[in-house]
Amino acid sequence: MVARRFVVRQGGGGGGGEAEEHEVEYDTEHGLDILRLQIFSLTSVPPELQKIVVEADGSVVDDGTDLEAISEGLRLVAITGEEEEAEAAAAAEAARAQEKSDEELARMIQIVVEADGSRVDGGTDMESICEGLRVVAISEGDGEDIAAAEAARVQEKSDEEFARMLQAEEEALLLQQYSIRNDGGEEFRERVEPYMHQVLMYEDPMRQEAARKTVPMDELQEKALVSLAKEGNFSPSKDEEDHAFLLQLLFWFKQSFRWVNAPPCDSCGRETFNVGMGTALPSEIKFGANRVEIYRCNYCSSTTRFPRYNDPYKKLGKDAVENGPIALHSTVEVLDMKLVWWNKKLDYVIAISKDGVRDVTKRYTRKWHEVLSRRIITSEDTVSAILSSITGKYRSGLSIDGLTALENRDKKESEELSKAAYLEVDTSISLPGRQSGSVEWRKARLELSQVESLACSSCPARKCVDAHVSKIYDALSALLSHFCDGDIPKERVIEVFDSLKCLMQNLKDAKFKSRRATLDKKTQLVFEEIFPSVERLLCAMSLKAELGTDGKCSVTTVGNAVHTSLALPVAMDVVDEILSNYKSNAVCTKGPQFPRGNRLCSGSVLASGEQLPIGIATAAFDGIRSSKWEEPDGAKGCWIIYRMLDGQTCELDSYDLMSANDVPERDPMDWVLEGSTDGGSTWNTIDARSSVIFDSRFYRKIFTVDKRYKANAFRFRFLRVRESNGNPRFQIGSIDLYGKST
């Protein structure tokens, strides 16, 4: 062990400019990796991109260099050239290929001692065996041995990686000792403790009441229960319901509040640009607006003040237009997005609640040793002590039982956090960057993702909960047939469907757990004429008509209110589309019509990819116009498979596709529809289309299948969207398949 002092020069030379010098106090016992980490902390050049050269003789410092003997003058060269990167990549790939080849060869053969037939393995005494050996190819009968050996290798690799991570942490903690600020942790405390006051504002009864009046609780609860019902869960537990409600609350918050880059002009409402900062007024400081930005209008030159309020009471008022600065740890966790934090390198993630503070950084990283190298405000022990001190202060008034419950919770979370940083990283998931703020602003903060989407490389098979969709189509198809057979005038048909639309809107506006709508006299007379068809439609939506003692007819929910919540928007969309077709004379008497019977339902869906959380594959089959299936990387090719329920077969006779709500460039243009008789192992083409254009949004096209083919699975291979240049995405509003199942 030798203590060395190196002078590392960076820059200068042939590139021009003066070289920067950095002094490094180093103990040679720690190895080259620690030296690279120390240089990284001084120069910000990552260890893997460092080329260290001894200035005296030009030799390169590597693992074989005697660090005790070399001179103290070193030069750092950042490896950035494309040639070096390509060469390194090629060498690494070749090494991996050779290693893989050797491993595969080793698995395919075994060495046997000819004298006694014993196998030569890691436990064989090579000095005592005879010289006659035989190489034997491993047969299929040895599969169990191969599997066991493979499992052992995987475990050995896992243990080795874990040991390397622990070693890297020890080295990072050692390096941290030379980098931290020796202020007793005061800077850390000053940066954390003020947030406790901010969080405690959310416990204020006045502010909580303002929040309750602002948040549409009934609507969000309904959406939460519907989201669970779409997964087949109509009787969720309390925890499941709370989890779903919190998700809907977050979605509502995202849609209702926005990040403001530049507010509109107070005078004319047009665009503004930032011209600097202003001094906060007492009325602004009262609500935590210590930061006030000044903007000038691009058109009328008026100035606009924009205080950044931090008080939730102010945010929930008429000026509630910007996202607050406090990100609640629990809300991020419940979204199962623990790895997602704007794709940014973090140093500290501190969870703050009324009960105290906790360092939860390990939840948001899988490279804890790298994070440690950046945590230089104070030592880890001091961080822990300060957080414990703050927590103790805010728990001092609790009862023994309350304190015990919190301590048990802390213990459980500590155990989770101790494991969190060592979980395996799912590299197949592309994490998103920050979503709020302009692209330029996010780019400046290094908060853009590599791919601006939350895309999955694959998605799970999902069950379609859509039997109600087919029942609604059947009921309304029968009603239309009734009108057609009776040669009912178009005006009368429109009157009936207008009445239906009005009824459904009244039901939609009512509280979902006690839905009831009373029919006026005119509507009641209309429904009496077509009651059998209307009764069938109401049944499909879990509704029933009741005649009151006053002679008035009303419609109310029967059974589980969630069934109605799930079906009502479907029926409203279908009625609206029927009205649109009649009013625009788009109804024809020949060929397939919408809606029609024999719609396939209750199958399962698998897709090449999907956009989480609002563009999942089953959204194409839910019968709701505003939803859609979106494939983030599907512009030049994607697929979706529909498998029949319980292995049933169907001879498809037609299908509908409807364009989605926006961006015509993402509409499908060319596709092939295939059928399979073996659940998807082999496929046969049953329909193909090219150069299809959807004329508008929510535009339905009906396609007849000429080739009769009985199948238990169907696959759409979408080959191209309307505009694939510069647009990576595919989307479709709905897919409806029709045929008689057997």
Instruction: Give 449-504 as a DSSP string.
Output: -SSSS-BBSS---EE---HHHHHHHHHHHHHHHHHHHTT--HHHHHHHHHHHHHHH
Rounded CA gap, 212 and 220, in Å? 12
Query: Under 8 Å CB-to-CB from 679, ≥6 apart: which residues?
Result: 643, 647, 712, 713
Rounded CA gap, 174 and 165, in Å? 14
Q: What is the pTM of this model?
A: 0.66
Query: Which residue reads 């790298």 in tokens?
Result: 370
Residue 663 covered by a domain: yes
- Say whether both 734 and 615 belong to one domain: yes
Q: Which of 17, 52, 80 is the last residue of a domain?
A: 80
- Say whether both 626 and 506 belong to one domain: no
What is the DSSP code (8-state) at residue 520? P
- Say whether both 530 and 563 belong to one domain: yes
DSSP E strands, 501-585: 516-518, 543-547, 553-557
Domain that holds residue 18: 3-80
CATH number, domain of 681, equals: 2.60.120.260
- Say whether both 622 and 734 belong to one domain: yes
H/E element holding 567?
A: helix 561-583
Query: Which residue reads 């493979």 in tokens?
Result: 150
User: Given this model, what pLDDT does residue 211 score?
Assistant: 82
- Say whether both 735 and 608 belong to one domain: yes
Query: Which residue reads 């005879």 in tokens?
Result: 130
User: Given this model, what pLDDT does residue 312 score?
Assistant: 78
Residue 511 covered by a domain: yes
Task: Report the interhelical angle of 467-485 vs 561-583 (nearest 10°).
Answer: 40
- Say whether both 580 and 473 belong to one domain: yes
Residue 181 covered by a domain: no
- Say whether both 577 and 640 belong to one domain: no
- The tally of domains found in the chain comes to 3
Residue 37: both structure tokens together: 């980490």
Residue 418: both structure tokens together: 């101790």
Residue 311 covered by a domain: no
Residue 616 covered by a domain: yes
- Say whether both 633 and 731 belong to one domain: yes
How does the average pLDDT of the chain come out, rounded? 82
Contact 376, 368 (CB under 8 A): no
Rounded CA gap, 107 and 140, in Å? 12
Q: pLDDT tens-digit profile of 461-507? A: 999 999 999 999 999 999 999 898 888 899 999 999 999 999 999 99
Q: Which of 57, 80, 103 is the last residue of a domain?
A: 80
- The letter for the amino acid at 264 is P
Q: Which of 80, 99, 114 is the last residue of a domain?
A: 80
User: Given this model, what pLDDT does residue 21 score?
Assistant: 84
Rounded CA gap, 255 and 435, in Å? 12
Rounded CA gap, 307 and 30, in Å? 52
Residue 169 covered by a domain: no
Query: What residues of the chain score a pLDDT lower than 70?
Result: 1, 12-18, 41, 78-159, 162, 315-344, 420-458, 588-589
- Say whether both 644 and 725 belong to one domain: yes
User: Given this model, what pLDDT does residue 322 score?
Assistant: 37
Residue 449 covered by a domain: no
- Say whether both 670 and 726 belong to one domain: yes
- Say whether both 556 and 615 belong to one domain: no
